[in-house]
C-alpha cells in the first residue's frame, strides 16, 4: 500500500519538472534532434537501431553514412554521423568510392525501396557482386512514402497505392521484387537478412541483424544487407495505430523474415 | 628530361597519378577506353584503385563517393557516356565535391555538353581543351588543382587524336599553389562529436547547427561560379595584333588551324588565331580585344557551330563572324572526317577571305 501511495503522489497533470535520467540516457546520443516523420512511421525506429548498433560496436568515429532520397533523407539533419547525401539509387556506388579510398572506415548506406529497388537496382546488385565491404540498409515500406504513396518495385500484389488504385495486379503492374533474395543469390555478400519493426520482438531481432551486418563488414566478408520492413501508415492510407498490423498482414506474409546469408565463422 | 613514347591516354594517366589521383572509375567507350585501360594498369601500382564500373552512372557516383571522402578522384567517358553522367556532375557541382571528368570525345560535338551541362541547377563546369598531348599532361594536373581549389567537378575535353596518338612525352609535376586543407571531407572522425560533417546538395546542416539551407547554399554556389568565370579564363592568341582576320578554334582543330594561319602569314596575309583554352569560362573579354581590329572572325570547329554562339556573343563586332567549320565524322563514327585536314581548312579560310572560291 505504501508503495502505491508513493506512486499515486506523482503529479501527472503536466510534464515532469526535470527530465528522467533513465529516459535521457536511453535516448541515443547520436540523434541530434526531433525527426519530422509521420506518427507511426517505422523509419525512425530503424534509424535508432542503426545508430545504437554503431555505438555499441565502438565504431562511431570511423563511420560514414550514405543516404539516398525518401522521407528518411531528413535524417541527415539529425544523425551525428558524417553523411554524404547522394542521388536517388546511387548510394551503393557512392559507398563503394568511399570505402575504396578509406578502407578502415565503416560505411553504410540507408535507402528506401523506391531508392534501392526501383532506381538503384543495378547499383546494389553490382555492388553486391563486386563484394564491396559496405553495409546497405533498406527501409522497405512498399511505397514511395515521400511522394505520397505510389507503387514501387516492392509493393505487394493486391496493395492499393496511388498508382495502383485497384491494388497491384501482376497482369498490369508485374510482380514485386524480393531484393534481399536476389542479393543473397550473389557471390560477394557476407550477410543478408530481412527484419521488421512492427513488433517489439521484431525490433529486437532487427537490431541483432544490424549488429551481425556491421560485424560482417568489420570482418571484411563483403557486402552486408539488412532489409527492414517499416510501416508507412501515411502512404498506405491507414491510421497510424493500424500500421504495424497492416504490415504484419501484408508485407511480412510475402517477404520472409530471417537471415538469408550469414558467413560469420566461415573460413574464407 | 627523359622522353617516353606514350599514347595520349597513357600520358594523361601518368599526369593524373602525378597529380595525386588515387581513384578512377569508368565504363569502356571508344576512344575513352584506352584511358580506362591505362588507369587499370597504372593506378594500382601507384597505390590507388581503378574500377571498371558496370555503367557510366555507377562510375561517376563512385567517383563522387571517393571525392567526398577526400581523395583525388576521376572518371571519364565520351559524349554519350558523359550524357549519362550529367546528373551526377551537376550533383557534384551543387554538393561541392571536386573530381575530374575526362571526356575523351569522338569529335567536337560535345562543346555544348561540356560548357552548358545537362544536369539540374545553377552550375557550370570548368572545361579545358588541350590542343595536343603535351598540353593535356599539364591540363590534367591543372584540372585536379582547380577542382580542389574551387570544390567543383572539372572536365578535360579531349578527342581521338589526343587519346590515341603516340608522342614522346616527359610527364613532370606542375608547380601549383598550395591548396586549403580538405577539412570538409568525410572520414568519420567527427561522427559522434556533435560536429559531424555532411556533403549535401541542400546543405541544411545538422539540427544542432543549421547550415545555409538550399536558398543560401545555391546562391553561394552561383556566386562561386561567377568568381570562377572571372578568374579562370585562359586563352592563346597568335598574331592577332595586326590581324584583319582572326580564326577561332579549340582543341585539336586549333592545332590544325594554327598551322594554316602560319602558312597564310608566311604568304603575307594579316591573319591571326584565337584559341579558347578554357571553353568554360569562355575567355570573352580576350576574344573581344583580339578581334577589335578584325574585319573577319572565322570560327573553325568540327560540329554544326556550337562554340559559334560564344564567339558571336563576345566578338568585338558580331557581324564580322563567319562559320567555316562543320560536322565531320569518320566512317567508323569514332573519329574525325575529312574537314580536319590542313589543305581543307586553308581552302575554307581563303574562301572566306574572298581570295579563292570554296570547292568543298
Ligand atoms: S510518408 Fe510514410 S515513410 Fe514517409 S514519413 Fe510518413 S509514414 Fe514515414
Per-residue H/E/C for chain A? CHHHHHHHCCCCCCCCCCCCHHHHHHCCCCECCCCCCCCCCCHHHHHHHHHHHHHHHCCHHHEEEEECCCHHHHHHHCECCEEEECCCCCHHHHHHHHHHHCCCCEEEEEEEHHHHHHHCHHHHHHHHHCCCCCEEEEEECCEECCCCCEECCCCCCCCCECCECCCCCHHHHCCCCCHHHHHHCCCCEEEEEEEECCCHHHHHHHHHHHHHHHHHHHCCCCEEEEEEECCCHHHHCCCHHHHHHHHHHCHHHHCCCEEEEECCCCCC
Q: Which residues of A touch B25 (CB under 8 A)?
A: 97
> For residues B251 and B130, what is the distance between their CA atoms, to the nearest angstrom?
5
Between the alpha carbon of residue B58 and those of residues A32, A127, A153, B42, B84, the distances in Å are 32, 10, 20, 21, 10
CATH of the domain at B327: 3.40.50.920
The residue out of B169, B193, B219 marking a domain boundary is: B169
Helices B79-95 and B213-231, axial angle in degrees (round to 10): 120
Q: Is the peptide bond before A245 cis (omega within 30 degrees of 0)?
A: no
Half-sphere exposure of B98 (CA within 13 A, CB side): 19
Same domain, B281 and B164: no
Q: How confident is the model at residue B2 (pLDDT cuts 50, 70, 90)?
A: confident
Chain B residues near residue A81 by CB distance under 8 angstroms: 188, 191-192, 196
Q: Are residues B88 and B165 in the same domain?
A: yes
Place of cell 571508344: B30
**Reported pTM:** 0.94
CATH placement of domain A21-262: 3.40.50.970
Choosing from B146, B169, B192, the residue where a domain stops is B169
Ligand 1 atom 2, closest CA: A232
Same domain? B160 vs B289: no
Q: Say how far apart CA A51 and CA B3 lie, in whole Å.
A: 55
Please indicate whether residue A138, judged by its CB atom, sits closer than 6 Å to ligand 1: no
Q: Whose CA is nearest to atom 1 of ligand 1?
A: A145
The C-alpha cell 556566386 sits at B223
Q: Is residue B219 one of the residues assigned to a domain?
A: no
Q: Among A83, A94, A99, whose Cβ lies nearest the Cβ of B61?
A: A94
Residue B73 inside a domain? The answer is yes
Of B158, B167, B177, the closest CA to residue B335 belongs to B158
ipTM score over 0.85, yes or no? yes
Rounded to the nearest angstrom, the distance between the alpha carbon of A181 and the centre of ligand 1 is 25
- Give a yes or no: residue B128 inside a domain: yes
What number does the ligand 1 atom closest to the CA of A243 have?
A: 7
Question: How many CA atoms are closer than 13 Å to the CA of B242, on its beta-carbon side?
Answer: 4
CATH code at position B74: 3.40.50.970
What integer is the mean pLDDT of B277-293? 98
- Evaluate if residue B120 carries a pLDDT over 90: yes
Give the ranges where B53-176 is alpha helix by DSSP (H).
Answer: 56-68, 79-95, 111-116, 133-150, 160-164
Band (pLDDT 50/70/90 cuts) for residue A266 is confident
- Given a cut of 50, whether residue A207 has pLDDT beyond it is yes
A103: nearest CA partner in chain B: B187
On the CB side of B306, how many CA atoms lie within 13 Å of its CA?
A: 18
B12 and B144 share one domain = yes
pLDDT, tens digit, for every residue of A80-91? 999 999 999 999
Query: β-strands A82-85, A63-67: how paired?
Result: parallel
* Cβ B275 vs Cβ B131: under 8 Å: yes
Express each pLDDT in A117-162 by its tens digit: 999 999 999 999 999 999 999 999 999 999 999 999 999 999 999 9
Asked if residue A268 has pLDDT above 70, the reply is no
Q: List all residues 6 or more positions away from B68 whose beta carbon is below 8 Å from its beta carbon.
A: A84, A94, A97, A98, B95, B97, B185, B186, B199
Give the residue from B117, B136, B169 where a domain finishes.
B169
Assign B244 a pLDDT band (cuts: 50, 70, 90). very high
The confidence score (pLDDT) of residue B358 equals: 45
Whole-number Å distance between alpha carbons of A166 and B80: 40
Ligand 1 pocket, residue A233 CB under 6 Å: yes
In terms of DSSP H, where are the helices of B106-250?
Answer: 111-116, 133-150, 160-164, 213-231
The confidence score (pLDDT) of residue B360 equals: 43
Task: Mark whether B24 and B165 lie in a shared domain.
Answer: yes
Using omega within 30 degrees of 0 as the cis cutoff, is the peptide bond preceding B31 cis? yes
> Residue B292: CB partners within 8 Å, gap ≥ 6?
B316
Domain that holds residue B263: 235-352
Residue of A143, A147, A198, A234 to mutate, ligand 1, most atoms within 8 A of C-beta:
A234
Contact A69, A87 (CB under 8 A): yes
Q: Whole-angstrom Cα distance, residue B130 to residue B159?
A: 10
B130 and B268 belong to one structural domain: no
Q: Give yes or no: residues B21 and B155 share one domain.
A: yes
Pairing of strands B4-7, A258-262: unpaired
Question: B95, B190, B192: best mutation site toward chain A, by most A Cβ within 10 Å?
Answer: B192
Average pLDDT over chain A reads 92
Q: Tell me: do B244 and B151 sit in the same domain.
A: no
Interface test with B, best of A100, A115, A125 (most B CBs within 10 A): A100
> pLDDT tens-digit profile of B316-335?
999 999 999 999 999 998 99
What's the burial of B265, exposed, middle or buried (CB within 10 Å: 0-12/13-18/19+)?
Answer: middle
Residues B153 and B53 in one domain: yes
If pLDDT is split at 50, 70 and 90, which confidence band does A12 have? Answer: low
Residue B8 has pLDDT above 70, yes or no: yes
pLDDT of residue A17: 65
Average pLDDT over residues B161-178: 96
The residue with greater pLDDT, A3 or A84, is A84
Q: Ligand 1 in contact with A141 (CB < 6 A)?
A: yes
Q: Report percent pLDDT > 70 for chain A.
A: 90
Q: How far is CA A111 from the centre of its chain?
A: 7
Strand-pairing partners, residue A108, are A65, A135
Residues B138 and B278 in one domain: no
Q: Which residues on B lie below 8 Å from A32 (Cβ)?
A: 194, 206-208
Residues B153 and B250 in one domain: no
Q: What is the pLDDT of residues B52-106, one digit of tens each?
A: 999 999 999 999 999 999 999 999 999 999 999 999 999 999 999 999 999 999 9
What is the per-residue pLDDT for A20?
55
The percentage of chain B sitting over the pLDDT mark of 70, rounded to a whole number, equals 98
User: In A, residues 30-59, which contact B (CB 8 Å cutoff)?
Assistant: 30, 32-34, 55
- In this predicted structure, what is the pLDDT of residue A2? 39
Indicate whether B223 belongs to any domain.
no
Q: Residue B224: inside a domain, yes or no?
A: no
pLDDT tens per residue, range B27-59: 999 999 999 999 999 999 999 999 999 999 999
Residue B303 is inside which H or E element, if any?
none
The Cα–Cα gap between B340 and B318 comes to: 25
Q: Is there a single domain that holds both residue B156 and residue B263?
A: no
What does the pLDDT read at residue A25? 56
For residue B188, is it within any domain? no
Q: Distance (Å) from the C-alpha of residue B195 to the closest C-alpha of chain A?
A: 7
Query: Cell numbers of B18, please?
Result: 602525378
Is B197 domain-assigned? no
Residue B22's CB is within 10 A of a number of other CB atoms, namely: 19
Instruction: Check: CB of residue B260 under 8 Å from CB of residue B217.
Output: no
- Beta carbons of B196 and A82 less than 8 Å apart: yes
Residue A208 sits at φ, ψ, to 5 deg, of -65, -40
Helices (runs of H) and strands (runs of E) counted in chain B: 12, 17
Q: Is the dihedral of CA A168, A169, A174, A178 positive or negative?
A: positive
Q: Taking CA A107 as the corner, what is the angle to CA A103 and CA A111, rounded to the nearest 5 degrees?
A: 150
Distance CA B170, CA B182 (A): 30
Mean pLDDT for chain B overall: 96
Q: Could you identify the atom of ligand 1 that is nearest to the CA of residue A70?
A: 4
Mutate to test the pocket of ligand 1, among A34, A35, A40, A43 (most ligand atoms within 8 A of CB): A43
The answer to the question of residue B210 being in a domain is no
Phi, psi angle pair for A59, to nearest 5°: -120, 15
Higher-confidence position of B332 and A23: B332
Distance CA B64, CA B71 (A): 10
How much distance in Å is there from the Cα of A146 to the middle of ligand 1? 6
**Cell (9 digits) for B27:** 565504363
Give the number of domains in chain B: 2
Amino acid at each position: 500500500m505504501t508503495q502505491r501511495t508513493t506512486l499515486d503522489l506523482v503529479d501527472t497533470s503536466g510534464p515532469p519538472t526535470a527530465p528522467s535520467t533513465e529516459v535521457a540516457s536511453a535516448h541515443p546520443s547520436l540523434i541530434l534532434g526531433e525527426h519530422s516523420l509521420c506518427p507511426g512511421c517505422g523509419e525512425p525506429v530503424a534509424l535508432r537501431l542503426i545508430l545504437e548498433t554503431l555505438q555499441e560496436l565502438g565504431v562511431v568515429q570511423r563511420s560514414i553514412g550514405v543516404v539516398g532520397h525518401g522521407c528518411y533523407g531528413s535524417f541527415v539533419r539529425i544523425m551525428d554521423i558524417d553523411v554524404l547525401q547522394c542521388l536517388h539509387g546511387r548510394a551503393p556506388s557512392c559507398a563503394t568510392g568511399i570505402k575504396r579510398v578509406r578502407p578502415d572506415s565503416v560505411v553504410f548506406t540507408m535507402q528506401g525501396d523506391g531508392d534501392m529497388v526501383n532506381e538503384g537496382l543495378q547499383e546494389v546488385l553490382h555492388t553486391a557482386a563486386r563484394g564491396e565491404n559496405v553495409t546497405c540498409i533498406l527501409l522497405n515500406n512498399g511505397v514511395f512514402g515521400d511522394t505520397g504513396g505510389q507503387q514501387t518495385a516492392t509493393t505487394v500484389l493486391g496493395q492499393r497505392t496511388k498508382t495502383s488504385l485497384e491494388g497491384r495486379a501482376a497482369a498490369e503492374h508485374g510482380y514485386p521484387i524480393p531484393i534481399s533474395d536476389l542479393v543473397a543469390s550473389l557471390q560477394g555478400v557476407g550477410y543478408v537478412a530481412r527484419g521488421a519493426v512492427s513488433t517489439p520482438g521484431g525490433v529486437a531481432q532487427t537490431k541483432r541483424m544490424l549488429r551481425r551486418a556491421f560485424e560482417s563488414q568489420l570482418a571484411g566478408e563483403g557486402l552486408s544487407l539488412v532489409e527492414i520492413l517499416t510501416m508507412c501508415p501515411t502512404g498506405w492510407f491507414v491510421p497510424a495505430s493500424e500500421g504495424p498490423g497492416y504490415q504484419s498482414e501484408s508485407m511480412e506474409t510475402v517477404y520472409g523474415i530471417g537471415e538469408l546469408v550469414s558467413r560469420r565463422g566461415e573460413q574464407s | 628530361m627523359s622522353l617516353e613514347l606514350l599514347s595520349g591516354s597513357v600520358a594523361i594517366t601518368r599526369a593524373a597519378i602525378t597529380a595525386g589521383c588515387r581513384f578512377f572509375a569508368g565504363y569502356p567507350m571508344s576512344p575513352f577506353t584506352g584511358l580506362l585501360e591505362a588507369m587499370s594498369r597504372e593506378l594500382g601500382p601507384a597505390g590507388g584503385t581503378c574500377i571498371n564500373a558496370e555503367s557510366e552512372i555507377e562510375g561517376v557516383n563512385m567517383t563522387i563517393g571517393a571525392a567526398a571522402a577526400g581523395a583525388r578522384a576521376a572518371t571519364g567517358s565520351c559524349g554519350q557516356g558523359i550524357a549519362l553522367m550529367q546528373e551526377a556532375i551537376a550533383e557534384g557541382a551543387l554538393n561541392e565535391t571536386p573530381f575530374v571528368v575526362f571526356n575523351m570525345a569522338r569529335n567536337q560535338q560535345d562543346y555544348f555538353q561540356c560548357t552548358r551541362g545537362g544536369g539540374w541547377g545553377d552550375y557550370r563546369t570548368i572545361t579545358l581543351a588541350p590542343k595536343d598531348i603535351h598540353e593535356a599532361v599539364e591540363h590534367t594536373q591543372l584540372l585536379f588543382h582547380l577542382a580542389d581549389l574551387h570544390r567543383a567537378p572539372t572536365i578535360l575535353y579531349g578527342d581521338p587524336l589526343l587519346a590515341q596518338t603516340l608522342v614522346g612525352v616527359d610527364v613532370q609535376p606542375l608547380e601549383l599553389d598550395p591548396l586549403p586543407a580538405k577539412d570538409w571531407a568525410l572520414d568519420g572522425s567527427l561522427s559522434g562529436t556533435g560536429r559531424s560533417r555532411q556533403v549535401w546538395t541542400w546543405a541544411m546542416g545538422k539540427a544542432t547547427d543549421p547550415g545555409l539551407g538550399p536558398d543560401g547554399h545555391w546562391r553561394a554556389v552561383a556566386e562561386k561560379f561567377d568568381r570562377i568565370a572571372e578568374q579562370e579564363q585562359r586563352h592563346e592568341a597568335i598574331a592577332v595584333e595586326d590581324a584583319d582576320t582572326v580564326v577561332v578554334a579549340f582543341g585539336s582543330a586549333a592545332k590544325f588551324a594554327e598551322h594554316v594561319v602560319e602558312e597564310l602569314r608566311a604568304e603575307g596575309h594579316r591573319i591571326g588565331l584565337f584559341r579558347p583554352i578554357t571553353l568554360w569560362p569562355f575567355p570573352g573579354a580576350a576574344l573581344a580585344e583580339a578581334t577589335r581590329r578584325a574585319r573577319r572572325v572565322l570560327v573553325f570547329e568540327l560540329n554544326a557551330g556550337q562554340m559559334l554562339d560564344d564567339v558571336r556573343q563576345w566578338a568585338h563586332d558580331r557581324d564580322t563572324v563567319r562559320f567555316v567549320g562543320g560536322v565531320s565524322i569518320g566512317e567508323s563514327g569514332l573519329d574525325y572526317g575529312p574537314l580536319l585536314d590542313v589543305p581543307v581548312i586553308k581552302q575554307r579560310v581563303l574562301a572566306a577571305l574572298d581570295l579563292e572560291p570554296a570547292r568543298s
